A = this chain, B = another copy of it.
Amino acid sequence: MKNQPTSLPRRRLLQGGAAALAAAGLSGRAAAQSKPLPGYVSWKDGPSMIVHSSNTLETKRSAFGLSVLTPASKLYIRNNVTPPDAAIVGDRDAWSIAISGVKSPATLALRDLKVLGASSVAMVLQCSGNGRGFYPHKPSGTKWTVGAAGCVVWGGAPVRAVVESLGGLAGGAAYMTGTGGEKIPAGIDAKSVIVERSLPLSAMNDALLAWEMNGEPISLAHGGPLRLIVPGFTGVNNIKYIDRLAFTAKPTDARIMATRYRMSPLGSKGSPSQPSVLEMSPKSWINSPNPEHSSLRAGWHQIHGVAFGGMNGARSVGVSLDGGGSWQEAQLVGPDMGQYAWRQFVLPVNLKAGSYTLVSKVTSTDGEEQPRERPENAGGYNNNSWLDHGVKVTVA
């Protein structure tokens, strides 16, 4: 380990004894589950999830643990459209993707991609609306708290390698436009529902066409057999079941790009003139202790949580027990999986009986600080307010 592990003063146990420890109550027991898991994700760990709807499942704070990566069994689900039929993961290597805007456009099967390149990246996958539940104006959409996010490893072919193999970019390319392979029902205007997003060309640099997540073939629920992975960009930009990748002069006019996922002023509708929801910003939150704990006893606790910088790594994390009045520096622990991953932070504290507002604040490696206030916008996107993400706990 690169970092010193956290430790407690020796007087802790000498004074308190095991009985006090045994009563500490940090057992991570989960609250009762609200709704059953939908059938297509019946393999998820039910007690770790909050089921908002069949297409929106959130990870509980208590489920993130200490191991950096989020297992597939606990990773959130958010689908804009009903997923394609499971038959598409029956013969994964036969899945194909049409690539255009390159000098030699081609349709490649997944088995073709496997000989074009091989790499992997650890990254925070986070829904654009994670934290929406903290907006007082109650935007439409799922009221996520912290758990529409996870840190996972993707394996696949670098987009740059694929593009190079097809002769490089054609002239005039300014956007990387990915399109999901969801079936559009007949009679519906495709532009109104198709999942198609245009990203700045720079997003190509670290992007993958991925067929693995956490060492396994990507499940249908998470976008398998093939998903566009754009590290640092919010979830919607990481196109599931991707079947078209186009390097285009203009962004798509699909509704999900043109008017949705925009940072619209309160009370206004989305429009292409408003900033799009793309790169993530620095964010952190505390996972333990948390209000899911049925009881917290006075004594030592290990406050821990996750912190990331968005497009850059986490450099340091401050933790406050009084809602931001005073701060202590937490320790970053465990493996540093690169600039797009999150780190876990730990702070040992001796909590006396009373009420606490625990908050955390990350500073990224380029010096950007997680803000106190949420970015106000009609859709409730990109909430990274440290104040919103705090937890109130009572110690008996």
Question: Is A90 positioned at the interface, with any CB of B under 8 Å from its CB?
Answer: no
Minimal Cβ-Cβ distance residue in B for A74: B215
Closest chain-B Cβ to A341's Cβ sits at a distance in Å of 7
State the oligomeric state as a number of copies: 2
Question: Is A203 positioned at the interface, with any CB of B under 8 Å from its CB?
Answer: no
- Contact call B302/A7, Cβ cutoff below 8 A: no
Given known A-B contacts A104-B14, A212-B65, A160 and B338 have beta carbons under 8 A apart: no
- Contact call A153/B334, Cβ cutoff below 8 A: yes
A118 contacts which of B6, B215, B216 (Cβ < 8 Å)? B6
- Contact call B66/A115, Cβ cutoff below 8 A: no
- Contact call B10/A164, Cβ cutoff below 8 A: yes
Interface residues of A in 197-242 (CB under 8 A from B): 206, 212-216, 231
A111 contacts which of B14, B22, B93, B215 (Cβ < 8 Å)? B22
A115 contacts which of B68, B70, B299 (Cβ < 8 Å)? B299
- Contact call B161/A6, Cβ cutoff below 8 A: yes
Question: Is A5 positioned at the interface, with any CB of B under 8 Å from its CB?
Answer: yes
- Contact call B119/A155, Cβ cutoff below 8 A: no
Question: Is A393 positioned at the interface, with any CB of B under 8 Å from its CB?
Answer: no
- Contact call B8/A117, Cβ cutoff below 8 A: yes
- Contact call A156/B71, Cβ cutoff below 8 A: no
In the assembly, what is the distance between CA of A34 and CA of B251, in Å? Answer: 52
Closest chain-B Cβ to A140's Cβ sits at a distance in Å of 32
A335 contacts which of B106, B118, B338 (Cβ < 8 Å)? B338
Minimal Cβ-Cβ distance residue in B for A23: B111
Q: Which residues of B contact A301 (CB under 8 A)?
A: 115
Question: Is A168 positioned at the interface, with any CB of B under 8 Å from its CB?
Answer: yes
- Contact call A333/B67, Cβ cutoff below 8 A: no
Question: Is A88 positioned at the interface, with any CB of B under 8 Å from its CB?
Answer: no
Minimal Cβ-Cβ distance residue in B for A299: B115
Known: A67-B213, A68-B120. 6 other contacts (CB 8 A): A10-B166, A22-B109, A26-B111, A70-B215, A117-B302, A337-B337
8 sampled A-B residue pairs with Cβ under 8 A: A9-B164, A10-B164, A13-B104, A13-B106, A27-B114, A67-B120, A117-B348, A122-B335
